[in-house]
């Protein structure tokens, strides 16, 4: 289901790691926010706009699309 948060939280075992790989719900529950500079925001929005245009043009032949964003602290 699109937009679902089912199983989108890291396990207790994952949380116990020195460098855990967290998921969507972990980020939401942390209350953290992501701040990027104006130049990075402009570049990100440009990329998302281009991706959206590509997806809109092939909506019948690309029924599934997943975007992955990684953050390294």
Structure confidence by residue, pLDDT tens digits, 21-62? 888 899 889 988 888 899 999 998 998 899 888 878 877 776
pLDDT higher than 80, residue 66:
no
pLDDT category, 1, cuts 50, 70, 90? very low
How far is Cα 57 from Cα 71, in angstroms, rounded to an integer? 29
pTM as predicted: 0.53
Amino acid 20: pLDDT: 92
Alpha-carbon span 47 to 18, nearest angstrom: 32
d(CA 1, CA 25): 15
């Amino acid at each position: 289901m699109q937009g679902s948060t089912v199983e989108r939280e890291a396990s207790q075992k994952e949380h116990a790691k020195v460098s855990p790989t967290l998921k969507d719900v972990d980020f939401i529950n942390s209350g953290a926010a992501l701040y990027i500079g104006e130049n990075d925001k402009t570049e990100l929005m440009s990329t998302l706009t281009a991706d959206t245009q590509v997806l809109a043009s092939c909506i019948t032949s690309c029924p599934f699309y997943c975007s992955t964003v990684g953050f390294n602290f």
